A and B are shown apart, each in its own frame.
Chain A
Amino acid sequence: MSNKIDNEVLSASPNKSMQRVQASLARRYAKERRFRRMGISAVITGLLFLSLLFGSIISNGYTAFWQTYIQIEVHFDAEMLDPQGQRSPEALSAANYGGLVKRSLRQMFPQVKKRSDKRKLYHLVSSGAAFQLREMVMNNPQLIGSTALIWVAADDDVDMLMKGHINRHKPEADRRMKDQQISWVDELLQQGRIEQRFNTTFFTAGDSREPELAGIRGAVMGSIFTLLITLALSLPIGVAAALYLEEFAPTNRLTDLIEVNINNLAAVPSIVFGLLGLAVFIGFFGMPRSVPIVGGLVLTLMTLPTIIIASRAALKSVPPSIREAALGIGASRMQTVFHHVLPQALPGMLTGTIIGMAQALGETAPLLMIGMVAFIVDIPGNVMDPSTALPVQIYLWADSPERAFAERTSAAIMVLLAFLITMNTLAVLLRKKFERRW
């Protein structure tokens, strides 16, 4: 409202000014409604983005929890596997299992004669089928000579076709699956030799170039090791720092500097922590690349500010009367803090720690800097084994061109989000349970 109106309102008679107010009222109410609608639409837009994000990831990824399997009839030919008949593990492990798979496919489709057609036929089953057969024979050499019906993982293209991600009506040249292959798949389907099952490989295998053989176990283990290091370092250090700053530190410029510094560190981009880790831990101390221990150290530095800030808030909420009572009956300051203040503040500190850990779990950029992006098939067994982490695995798979990897990326994201939601729910429950009003 401008001054002009105010002056006129003041100088005019009460009656006249009431009229003015009445006249402007409709306009002002309309404005009010508009403003309100803007607010509602802002909230709805935000929620819309949220549902779009979750909707697209879930609709993309839920199929990855199923995998197509093909039943083949395998004759474990003694001639092919172990011509010398020694049954020694070396001979059995080096035998040509791929050839077995190919032969059973040829027997299933005897009409296929041309070399190029045969090659297309072999592409129906995953290259992992040979490893599956080898493992079976290695575990049970008596299988040799017998014939068995075995379910093996289908190739990712067959899998995509079964899940409807490959459009059959597109021209053949634009499709990864050719007409001939589709007709074989249909034939197998009629014989009941194709089935979709729960995809256990996804949870038990490490990374792989073949989507149907790739799993998140290696990445999950890498994340767990990294987080263990982070937790073991950042919880005690963070709590100790908060205790000092809140309970013991004299108020002077130095303490002030530390405080400003911590608040600033909390807002430093995470990639800068990655640069620090690269220059200091790998460049200066000569630690190996791609190992969870370096990742854990970097993430510790990154989550420390979060934990310190949360822990200080928890300490602040403990009333001074508790400290005074303890000091009054002769406890030292250290005893007061450790026996009386810390136990009261601990739930709040743990909540902050869990939130910090959730942040660390989702962090990718600093791990890229310290080389945790390698293609690693083996599942890491300790903190010194090269590994990736779950978010980095998502980044790696998101770069892969295969359609099947897009599906698996979404599924890995769902697993990651499930972890994060569990952790955050835990934090909320903890806060609810131990929250105390003094």
Chain B
Amino acid sequence: MFEPAIITHLVIAELPGALRELPSDQLNLLVNNIKNLVFGNIVSGEINPAMQDAADHYQHLHTISRAAQTVVALSLAILCTLLAWRSIHKEQRARNSVERIIMLFLIASSSIAVFTTIGIILSVLFEAIRFFQAVPLTDFMFGLKWSPQMAIREDQVGSSGAFGAVPLFAGTMLISFIAMLVAAPIGLMSAIYLSEYASKRVRNIAKPLLEILAGVPTVVYGFFAALVVAPLIRDSGTLLGLDVASESALTAGLVMGVMIIPFISSLSDDVINAVPQAMRDGSYGLGATRSETIRLVIIPAALPGIVSGMLLGISRAIGETMIVVMAAGLSANLSANPLQAVTTVTVQIVTLLVGDQEFDSPKTLAAFALGLMLFITTLILNVIALHVVRKYREQYE
């Protein structure tokens, strides 16, 4: 597995001194050429004797490594056979050791989740720290201007390299706010209707239908937003005499709201159903109507669960990527007008990282800093929400 890396290193060590001193990108090119020479591919540039030597050396090492691999594999096999042979005897409790090994596998599997979290934190954090070495944290957190084009030449125009993330945060908030404005009332009311009013037949039909909305991939919503909703909103804006940007925050927010409706409705549905029937019966016994029971008894009792459902919905909206990539704008405007184009954190991560990139320019690293912000924000929302849900479940069990 590590064979090519080791061999490459050895070959570089054997190169003539002058070639070894080359900057790393040129050295890479040279190594590539040598490899091409070895494997008989097309070589760019001309072949000099040093390269030919290196290629021969590479080939030699390659042969040695093949032989070494065979020897190692064979001896491992023999060793294992001997070990197995020796351990077979009457006192050997084979099952116990097999079970211990299986147990280790189970523990390892369950710790993968923890390693994933650690991996996320470390990978994002390291790149973000490198970014903050180039751009001060305060500039990033409080700067009002976002234009991540870095100047390649000193005198280049239009590439200020400003990394003030406030417009992105504001845009994200605006779109999430619009989304929740759509999703919260519709989601909650449909959950209430379906769990308290609807007949069993209506419920059995409407609930799965609404849940289809949750299964639709976000890229489909993005296409829907760009193809259907955006022209619709622009045209109706023109009818009303308003100037609507074709990538308005309203479009993205509206469609994102539709995506979150089933999420909120199924979470609210769960908590409403968890409210004990005795509380409803008590309220009806006092002569309250159904809506009074719902508004004055059930919703207050289910409020923690509903609120945490909303928090999870907000965290969804903040982290949602494809809808905003396809329907929201790219330019970072600091504006609270839903008819204007704004951009979001996730859109910027995608635009910064898709396409050609180098791992050490602040432009690429900025994406990781944004990713860190995104991760922290959604993590806080999730932790609060899940904690509340857990507490709430215990209360009624």
Residue numbers of A with Cβ under 8 A of B are: 1, 21, 28-29, 31-32, 35-36, 38-43, 45-47, 49-50, 52-53, 56-57, 60, 236-238, 240-245, 248-249, 257-258, 260-265, 267-273, 275-276, 278-280, 283-284, 301, 304-305, 308, 332, 334, 358, 361-365, 368-369, 371, 373, 391-392, 394-395, 398, 406, 409-410, 413, 416-417, 420, 424
- A40 to chain B: closest residue by CB: B193
The 0/1 profile, CB within 8 Å of A marked 1, for residues 330-362 of chain B is 000000000000000010011001100001000
Q: Is the CB of B353 within 8 A of A241?
A: no
Residues on B with C-beta less than 8 A from A262 are: 113
Q: Which of A46, A57, A241, A276 has the most CB of B within 10 A?
A: A46
Q: Is the CB of B217 within 8 A of A420?
A: yes
Residues on A with C-beta less than 8 A from B371 are: 271-272, 275
Q: Closest approach, in angstroms, between the C-beta of A308 and any C-beta of chain B?
A: 7
A261, A279, A280, A358: the one contacting B113 at CB < 8 Å is A261
Residues on A with C-beta less than 8 A from B218 are: 362, 364-365
Q: Contacts A241-B110, A276-B116 known; A417 to B386 CB distance under 8 Å?
A: no
Closest 4 CB pairs of A and B: A269-B319, A39-B193, A362-B217, A279-B123
Q: Does B30 make an interface contact (CB < 8 A)?
A: no
Residues on A with C-beta less than 8 A from B350 are: 271, 365, 368-369
Q: Closest approach, in angstroms, between the C-beta of A130 and any C-beta of chain B?
A: 27
Residues on A with C-beta less than 8 A from B386 are: 260, 263-264, 267
B219, B262, B289: the one contacting A391 at CB < 8 Å is B219
Residues on B with C-beta less than 8 A from A365 are: 218, 321-322, 325, 346, 350
- Rounded to whole angstroms, the CA-CA distance of A430 and B120 in the bound complex is 34
Number of A-B contacts (CB under 8 A): 258
Q: Is the CB of B375 within 8 A of A39?
A: no
Residues on A with C-beta less than 8 A from B258 are: 46, 49, 53
Q: Contacts A32-B289, A39-B192, A42-B189 known; A268 to B95 CB distance under 8 Å?
A: no
Q: Does B215 make an interface contact (CB < 8 A)?
A: yes
Q: Contacts A275-B124, A275-B368 known; A301 to B378 CB distance under 8 Å?
A: no
Residues on A with C-beta less than 8 A from B320 are: 269
Q: Is the CB of A369 within 8 A of B353?
A: yes
Residues on A with C-beta less than 8 A from B113 are: 241, 258, 261-262, 265, 304-305, 308
- B294 to chain A: closest residue by CB: A35
Q: Is the CB of A237 within 8 A of B112?
A: yes
A-B contact pairs, 21 of them (CB 8 A): A35-B295, A39-B192, A42-B185, A43-B190, A50-B210, A57-B224, A240-B105, A260-B386, A262-B113, A264-B382, A265-B113, A267-B378, A267-B382, A268-B379, A269-B318, A269-B321, A364-B219, A369-B350, A398-B227, A417-B220, A420-B217
Q: Does B388 make an interface contact (CB < 8 A)?
A: no
For the A-B complex with A265-B117, A269-B375, A280-B119 known, give 11 more contacts whose Cβ atoms are closer than 8 Å.
A42-B186, A268-B120, A269-B316, A271-B349, A308-B110, A308-B113, A332-B95, A364-B217, A395-B222, A398-B227, A420-B217
Q: Is the CB of A334 within 8 A of B99?
A: yes
Q: Closest approach, in angstroms, between the C-beta of B298 and any C-beta of chain A?
A: 12
Residues on B with C-beta less than 8 A from A39 are: 189-190, 192-193, 196-197
Q: Does B133 make an interface contact (CB < 8 A)?
A: no
A31, A258, A368, A394: the one contacting B111 at CB < 8 Å is A258
Q: Is the CB of B322 within 8 A of A395?
A: yes
Residues on B with C-beta less than 8 A from A47 are: 206, 209-210
Q: Is the CB of B109 within 8 A of A29?
A: no
Interface residues of B in 76-115 (CB under 8 A from A): 95, 99, 102-103, 105-107, 109-114
- B221 to chain A: closest residue by CB: A53
Q: Is the CB of B378 within 8 A of A268?
A: yes
Residues on A with C-beta less than 8 A from B274 are: none
Q: Does B374 make an interface contact (CB < 8 A)?
A: yes
Residues on B with C-beta less than 8 A from A268 are: 120, 319, 375, 378-379, 382
- Rounded to whole angstroms, the CA-CA distance of A238 and B113 in the bound complex is 10
Q: Does B367 make an interface contact (CB < 8 A)?
A: yes
A240, A267, A304, A369: the one contacting B116 at CB < 8 Å is A304
- Rounded to whole angstroms, the CA-CA distance of A361 and B219 in the bound complex is 11
- B99 to chain A: closest residue by CB: A334
Q: Contacts A47-B206, A263-B386, A275-B371 known; A249 to B319 CB distance under 8 Å?
A: no
Q: Closest approach, in angstroms, between the C-beta of B345 and any C-beta of chain A?
A: 9
Q: Does B247 make an interface contact (CB < 8 A)?
A: no
- Rounded to whole angstroms, the CA-CA distance of A364 and B322 in the bound complex is 7
Q: Is the CB of A279 within 8 A of B319?
A: no
Q: Contacts A49-B213, A268-B319, A365-B322 known; A301 to B219 CB distance under 8 Å?
A: no
Q: Contacts A42-B186, A43-B206 known; A269 to B378 CB distance under 8 Å?
A: yes
Interface residues of B in 279-301 (CB under 8 A from A): 287, 289-292, 294-296
Q: Does B152 make an interface contact (CB < 8 A)?
A: no
Q: Contacts A32-B291, A52-B228, A275-B371 known; A249 to B110 CB distance under 8 Å?
A: yes
Q: Closest approach, in angstroms, between the C-beta of A338 and any C-beta of chain B?
A: 8
Q: Contacts A301-B116, A365-B321 known; A264 to B379 CB distance under 8 Å?
A: yes
The 0/1 profile, CB within 8 Å of A marked 1, for residues 358-390 of chain B is 010000000110010011001100110010000
- Rounded to whole angstroms, the CA-CA distance of A309 and B117 in the bound complex is 16
Q: Closest approach, in angstroms, between the C-beta of A401 and any C-beta of chain B?
A: 12
- Rounded to whole angstroms, the CA-CA distance of A416 and B102 in the bound complex is 38
A248, A269, A278, A395: the one contacting B106 at CB < 8 Å is A248
Q: Contacts A46-B210, A267-B312, A269-B320 known; A332 to B99 CB distance under 8 Å?
A: yes
- Rounded to whole angstroms, the CA-CA distance of A358 and B117 in the bound complex is 23
Q: Closest approach, in angstroms, between the C-beta of B153 and any C-beta of chain A?
A: 27
- Rounded to whole angstroms, the CA-CA distance of A217 and B321 in the bound complex is 25
B219, B318, B368: the one contacting A394 at CB < 8 Å is B219
